[in-house]
Amino acid sequence: MTTIGFVRHGITAWNKEKRAQGSADIPLHEEGIETAKKAAERLSNENWDVIYSSPQLRARQTAEIILEKLPHAELKFDDRLREKSGGEIEGTTEEERLERWGKKWRDLDLGMETNEKVVERGLSFIEDIRCSGEEHILIVSHGGFIENMLRALTPDREYTESLNNTSLTILELADERNNCVLFNCTKHLL
């Protein structure tokens, strides 16, 4: 069985300002660095063979901080783990979107990547790692990406809350049915 731990990157200034990030390469905020260190400390007591990360700066920084506490693990970057592209909405707040495009801005073609495309590239990555022989895989990525993957990999489960920054979600991948054994856990931040 393959176990995957999804870690959402640490908080950024744009997270704090509630700006859409998408493919923008935003660094971690000072607070994000500190919470990534707490996540790393928590993960140091667990058995992870390899860390895969989105190459986007906020995820890369989070993964590198985690790697410091998991020196036996190898860190690999994969572009398929990047966040859903936000097109024209990147860098804007909800208020700014309403001002520019009106209440139905979500119905407009603003160049955003579809959830289907995110799932397609994400499942391609999952299939590759399933064939790799690695059993305990940590993936550092983004809220939108992880949420799309959870819905695709565990369609019988309903997820109603958004993922917190540096949260850990663990899936066990099986031939018959994948199982989410931990969701959005931030006990390391308490």
Number of domains in the chain: 1
pLDDT tens readout for residues 121-180: 999 999 999 888 889 999 999 999 999 999 999 999 999 999 999 999 999 998 889 999
Segments forming the whole domain that contains residue 142: 2-189
Question: What DSSP state is assigned to residue 38?
Answer: H
Given the residues 29, 83, 142, 147, select the one marked as catalytic: 83
30 is catalytic: no
Which residue type, as a one-letter code, is found at position 33?
Answer: I
| Chain center to CA of 66 | 14
In angstroms, the CA 8 to CA 38 distance is 13
Q: What is the per-residue DSSP string for 83-137? A: PPP-GGGTT--HHHHHHHH-TTGGGS--SPPPHHHHHHHHHHHHHHHHTT---EE
Q: CB-side exposure of 60: number of CA atoms within 13 Å?
A: 10
Q: Which of 9, 90, 142, 147 is catalytic?
A: 9
Is 83 catalytic? The answer is: yes
CATH number at residue 153: 3.40.50.1240
Does pTM surpass 0.85?
yes
